[in-house]
Structure 1
Amino acid sequence: MQNEFLISAKQQFEYYKNLAEKTFSRLTDEQLNWKYNEESNSIAIIAKHMVGNMLSRWTDVFTTDGEKEWRMRDGEFEEELLTRVVLLEKWERGWQCFYEVLDNLSVEDLDRTIYIRKEPWTVTAAINRQLAHYPYHVGQIVFIGKMVCDANWESLSIPKKVK
């Protein structure tokens, strides 16, 4: 039997993954790469960062630190014009890595210690950390999508009542 925490966490991650994907689907390639200003991130940059985080944190999670030497975190924030196709390929690769770990965790694994930036975390705490991190960025993705679509934005939840 699978742990209720894992079932609930997976449902939450899937919900936020779908929100981002619904936003992606409403935007052109140009809009996916749009930035409010030079200090801002585009949706493509935010998604690229999330993928880098997923791959780093969840690859070999029990045998290596979650901040991999091969990860170039600063490079995730460099502007790179991505097509929807390339963006979605990266996006799926990150989620696949993460879900592969989640799908294979046992109840006993939840209390195991893993390391992120040399700090010890239980697997439960690391999952909770991601339950805060990923929705934070998905919120940014949705907000930027709403900004670029302006009046053409279609609500992803319950639309406001128009008077």
Structure 2
Amino acid sequence: MTIPTYIHRATIEPLMANLQPTSTPIWGGMTPQHMIEHLTAIHHIGCGSPEAPCFTDEAKLPTIREFLRSEVELRQGVISPIFGKDLHPYKHPDLATAKLAFLNAVDIFHQYYQANPGKLHMNPVFGQCSYEDWQLFHKKHNYHHFKQFGLV
């Protein structure tokens, strides 16, 4: 299977219309707002704001980066090494505001790399990533969470 690409506002925004505060996940314990705020945070990390550590052993990076470049989906129930399994307090007052912040983060991500094409930033799992690598990550990660909530 080829993982669909939902990494730009034009492809993400229509999906967001179907996500409601009462939407329930197919798996996992996130609420819709937690999921959107999680995606927002990792888009900021992709621009180095904030810089993140890498939790993967250096010896395993070549294999894990092969996975990044594959069409294999992220598995259900995977726990983020940077966010953990516990749900964090909301950063925004409601889902609508969180959605707007996410779309803004998506735009900022692409604008950042247009202005800084050679920049590398640490991904918590995949190590130092270029714009291309981060796009591959967001492709897998966004799809994973959109699927989690039945949006795709």
Aligned to 1:131: 139
Q: RMSD between aligned alpha carbons?
A: 3.9
On the 8 A contact 1:112/1:122 being kept in 2, the answer is yes
Identity of aligned residues (%): 4
| 1:22 paired to 2:21 | no
TM-score, normalising length: structure 1: 0.53
The 3-state SS of whatever aligns with 2:128 is strand
| 1:113 paired to 2:108 | no
Match of 1:52 among 38, 41, 54: 41
Higher fraction of helix: 1
Instruction: Name the structure, 1 or 2, with higher relative contact order (CA <8 Å, separation 6+).
Output: 2
Aligned to 2:100: 92
Aligned to 1:13: 8
- Change in 2 beyond 3 A, CA 1:116/1:79: closer
- Cα shift readout 1:18-47 (whole Å, capped 9, x = no counterpart): 2431212xx4x4x23x4678x533323322
The 3-state SS of whatever aligns with 2:44 is helix
* Alpha-carbon distance in 2 for matches of 1:108, 1:81: 31
- Change in 2 beyond 3 A, CA 1:124/1:66: farther
- Cα shift readout 1:130-157 (whole Å, capped 9, x = no counterpart): 111112211222x2x7xxxxxxxxxx8x
Structure 2: tracts of 5 or more residues without a match = 54-81
TM-score, normalising length: structure 2: 0.56
Structure 1: tracts of 5 or more residues without a match = 1-8, 146-155, 157-163
* Alpha-carbon distance in 1 for matches of 2:52, 2:91: 26
